[in-house]
Structure 1
């Protein structure tokens, strides 16, 4: 027994007060005899004996009351098994690796099949009454059941059925985070032994063995855990030096995922040989919404080599298109033989162009040149095979303040004048919600007013301030030129194609200089002049994108509008700016899925089907006449589906979305003995069978102490009540009537 407030034990001598009072009351008194006393003597002797018994009982009760209060204040703790408090139990946490590499097949059986056999054998060995938890190890650990199960014949049968339904996923197992979660979870009451058993495939990926801090933290957590904890690791028998045949379809890339009808999109399949043997004649099969659309092939690919294969496709219908690439090659790890990319195909993308009144009615100057690049000229309309996805609408700057910007994917602002604060707030909200904004100041733009409204000291929409015209600084050069950009940015990939486009022939006679500090990120400067002045810069705000171009589309300023580069630049940059406004259907693990639906849809019927075949409810926000759907639980790679439930029919598919996987999970490098020893020393793990000394240390662990002061307070309260009742009874007996003689 231990005490949390042992200082109060110094008050224990106070329990002697009732004893002292009792002894003082028993001292001898002087006896005075009188004549009639001989007739009362028998009755007096009888009452005196009863009084002594009553006083003795009262003394004991009062002493127990004081002892109970003092001990309760001292907060004693007793062993859980003492006096039969609680039932001593063991908790077992089974961690099951469901990562992609567990799908590796050897000797006509996958590693995951071996893993499930081992888990079932472990269940058979556990005793009834054991508290059991099951944790799935993926990108983020996920409990198979929300609470611990008490093992019995029924729960054991249910567990085996559920475990046999499990299949490998496309995830990469984060084993360190999984072990931390299993140890940090609060145990059930009366549990003081916890055994964590990890069933994994034995490959190095997912262990993060080189992270000393992580495993030292796990060791520290294990040592300071409230209950005795052991961690045992089970791995299948893998023959050393095994050779594998494994073609991994790493990913499918495309410049855009928001495309127009009949637009030719180039997909790039990244294929890598992650096995140990060369593979010849690798064929790839392409599908769109489960329909075959063609194929491609790779003559041969050596171990460790990566090949990229392009495939062109044009969607013939609007809507969501799931483009899938797979290889029928029979290798040892089939789960990484496919990948997909989802397109949003639209017939028109709404675009709002804002300019001065003289350029709008009728369109003239730079606005007329922009419309020509968008296919809105008489010549472009005569070309039947070329269509522009953009549907432009022109308004004057005076009309922008009352304009609803929500229907538009992009805004293009030209000849920027001084604007009101209401307009700036409207533009900022538009960009934060995913809109694209292209700002092109012109000759009439007041630079100070622009900087005050759009730059705002670096906190506005424009990332850099405007500082003056090129002509303000005398130079001997009659014109400036553009430096061809690196093709690393998706918006600049085509612009930087020097073979097909003519960016090197652009001549700039005038432009507005933007003041870029030395620490300004170079990847946000899209175009730069040979003299070092940024011409086009990018900014990000919320979900949206902003591009500031400090040269108007005016032939008096440059020959850009008559270069081959011009049309491609207008189209590509507007498509890039429009991307965030569309639903993002290709995500990274953990990235939030966002989707907008009709406000008339019953939001309580929306559900998301995950790659684990689980059904989960998304979050829904009703805003501005539509329902905005958010789903953040995207830790498992693979295909998801947003559906609308129906009681009378099958669920209606609103849209699919796809979460990419970790490519390195396809690397089949075994966890070496040296790394195992490192995990044993740093993380306190046990590989294989437990050693006798580990079993002894685990089983000899003492149960945690249980608070006992509640019971002491109840005992003190009971004794106090008994003392009060006994005192009342004695008083009533003593004074209820006169003595009777025999």
Structure 2
């Protein structure tokens, strides 16, 4: 036990006043004048042994009562540790959660504002001699002072002047920083955590780095009600190129971290003038992938944004993505003469499928090319080739195709010519690897059951068969093929589609950086009904889009606090400023590297960061988004944290949402018990005075 008014301990000798009075009473007895024998008897009774014991007991009670009154004036407290030194004071550390989850506004008040208010109350409760420090706990925890201080206003200004939180809180690193600050401090340490205890930030916090005799206090700032939140937690686009003027299918991950169901619209688009929206319904505590098709603008680095209706934590209701969009591409239609093959040439069907709109409105621009004109120069401006009804290729022509594929080009080859077997063998020899199928004989309708063959199975995980996902797979049953090659699979590459007898219908080969798709059928009307199906142009576009580029057009996404870098041509980037989100201060480092310029910066907030070029297109663009883990606001039970920390810190305690910091700092006051004790002693003394009176014989 200690005393808050310890400077007044000199009053304790006052408790000896009753003893002094008693001693004076014995030294100078009272003189009585007896006028009768009754007075003599009373005097004799007053000097009896019983009267002397009564006098001593009352002396003791009065002394104890006065001692209790003096003790109450000294404000005694019962503390769990030794009292702070009057000169050095206490050592107190305040760790304030500065993560995105703390910005959730519950009833108009955020958890961060409640945490700051509690920190202010704690600082106001400290004694003038107490020293403290404040740690702002975010992804990179920072302290207000390099050593413990007594500047309360400066500590609060450190918290108030910090940028709004946008990321996670690393309490493990914060504990290590706290241990470093307390290493050279004398005396015991009190550590206070002000947080919403969001489980993503507190799942694996360790306290072993803190001093073993430190007292840990956990103060909740989340409020009593369970907090709900909605968020866009991810955007995914299919692999392959995204072409200007076309469309892109988005898979948007939407989360409802709330105990209530939710229905609302999501919006997505590259610019406000071409937004697309969709209604989404989510059950409590659930996530879903919503599909949305949006138009693609001009080529270059385009900025895609997906938004939800705003809620109590609006920062994660929007998600950004930078997409590399290619300009309208040229597709080479490598077809033989119309008379070759003995049936109408499929060139017209292929040209219409590649450019169904005509007039330079489509994503691809077809360019017919005869096999005799096949040279490296003819393919220099193209990355896509469709071959059909090919005659026997010469060594130079086959070598040009092999080089084109190794360099990253993509080719769709329809097996509907008389020299397909020889061409595949020659191409396989030049490539130095076996293709997925080996042709045997050509089968006509007279050799097929029922006069036509249908697709029986497929590897629908392939990016080239996305058109037939889920219920759209039934469209394959509409296709009939009247002539094809009987072929044997070689076990190389991938067989994507197969006929009922096991013959490969569609195979994929990765040739160097490129892709070769071999279609064991024809689009000619005499050979199949494929060209008459509505899915034919869409399937051709799907294969062109996915082939030759297995990478994702979506650029890497970052989180606040990440260090981002990119390179551009120095001649284009010199003198141009990086454009950051509004109200964001970004320091950019520029490092020349020959003819290139490397730009490096740290992103402090979500949004788009871009370096514009002179032609209106961005030379560099980056998307920064909140960490999806911060969107789930469910908290761990802070009452379990003292047990987790108890292995190394026996003084850990959960103090709830509002704490009496005076009690935590100094101990529990017990002066009222001293007052009650004094009153009780005086009451007993009064009763003894009334009952134990001297009696005459």
TM-score (normalizing by structure 1) = 0.55
* Distance in 1, Cα, partners of 2:373 & 2:164: 61
Is this contact kept in 2: 1:336–1:666, CA < 8 A? yes
* Distance in 1, Cα, partners of 2:621 & 2:608: 6
Tell me the alpha carbon deviations over residues 273-332 of structure 1, each in whole angstroms, 9 at most, x when there is no partner: 32123456x35566753558576556x754235577666654676666545444446x44
Name the structure 2 match of 1:179.
172
Is this contact kept in 1: 2:132–2:149, CA < 8 A? no
Tell me the alpha carbon deviations over residues 627-651 of structure 1, each in whole angstroms, 9 at most, x when there is no partner: 59787978x88323122599xxxx9
Quickly say closer, same or farther: Cα 1:334–1:245, change in 2 above 3 A. same
Name the structure 1 match of 2:517.
548
Name the structure 2 match of 1:289.
271
* Distance in 1, Cα, partners of 2:379 & 2:570: 18
Quickly say closer, same or farther: Cα 1:257–1:641, change in 2 above 3 A. farther
Name the structure 1 match of 2:15.
none
* Distance in 2, Cα, partners of 1:541 & 1:121: 69
Question: Structure with the greater relative contact order (CA < 8 A, sep ≥ 6): 1 or 2?
Answer: 2
**Does the residue aligned with 2:541 lie in a helix, a strand or coil?**
helix
**Does the residue aligned with 2:362 lie in a helix, a strand or coil?**
coil
Name the structure 1 match of 2:55.
none
Is this contact kept in 1: 2:141–2:174, CA < 8 A? no
Name the structure 1 match of 2:329.
350
Give the C-alpha shift of residue 110 in structure 1: 0.8
Name the structure 1 match of 2:539.
569
Name the structure 2 match of 1:721.
none
Is this contact kept in 2: 1:608–1:643, CA < 8 A? yes
1:236 to 205, 217, 220: 220
**Does the residue aligned with 2:517 lie in a helix, a strand or coil?**
strand
Give the C-alpha shift of residue 671 in structure 1: 0.4
CA radius of gyration, larger in: 2
Is this contact kept in 1: 2:216–2:649, CA < 8 A? no
Is this contact kept in 1: 2:137–2:174, CA < 8 A? no
TM-score (normalizing by structure 2) = 0.58
Name the structure 1 match of 2:197.
202
* Distance in 1, Cα, partners of 2:638 & 2:533: 63
Is this contact kept in 2: 1:201–1:236, CA < 8 A? yes
Unaligned runs of 5+ in 2: 1-89, 666-697
Is this contact kept in 1: 2:607–2:624, CA < 8 A? yes
Quickly say closer, same or farther: Cα 1:301–1:561, change in 2 above 3 A. closer
Name the structure 1 match of 2:485.
510
* Distance in 2, Cα, partners of 1:613 & 1:637: 7
Name the structure 1 match of 2:165.
168
Is this contact kept in 2: 1:202–1:671, CA < 8 A? yes
Give the C-alpha shift of residue 672 in structure 1: 2.4
Cα root mean square deviation, aligned: 6.1
Is 1:334 the equivalent of 2:314? yes
Tell me the alpha carbon deviations over residues 328-387 of structure 1, each in whole angstroms, 9 at most, x when there is no partner: 46x4433333334555666x422353858879x9xx966665333212xxxx56x66x93
Name the structure 2 match of 1:638.
606
Q: How does 1:428-577 map to 2 (within 5 A)?
A: 428=406, 430-431=407-408, 437-438=410-411, 440=413, 443-445=420-422, 447=424, 450-451=427-428, 453-454=430-431, 456=433, 465-469=435-439, 471=441, 480-483=453-456, 491-496=464-469, 498=472, 501-502=475-476, 504-507=478-481, 509-510=484-485, 513-516=488-491, 526-532=496-502, 535-536=505-506, 546-551=515-520, 553=522, 555=524, 560-577=530-547
* Distance in 1, Cα, partners of 2:253 & 2:260: 18
Name the structure 2 match of 1:729.
none
Name the structure 1 match of 2:557.
587
Give the C-alpha shift of residue 393 in structure 1: 4.7
Name the structure 2 match of 1:70.
none
**Does the residue aligned with 1:303 lie in a helix, a strand or coil?**
coil
Quickly say closer, same or farther: Cα 1:295–1:182, change in 2 above 3 A. same
Name the structure 1 match of 2:641.
676
**Does the residue aligned with 2:316 lie in a helix, a strand or coil?**
coil
* Distance in 2, Cα, partners of 1:245 & 1:278: 10
* Distance in 2, Cα, partners of 1:103 & 1:162: 14
Is 1:246 the equivalent of 2:229? yes
Quickly say closer, same or farther: Cα 1:391–1:253, change in 2 above 3 A. same
Name the structure 2 match of 1:373.
353
**Does the residue aligned with 2:630 lie in a helix, a strand or coil?**
helix
Is this contact kept in 2: 1:259–1:344, CA < 8 A? yes
**Does the residue aligned with 1:568 lie in a helix, a strand or coil?**
helix
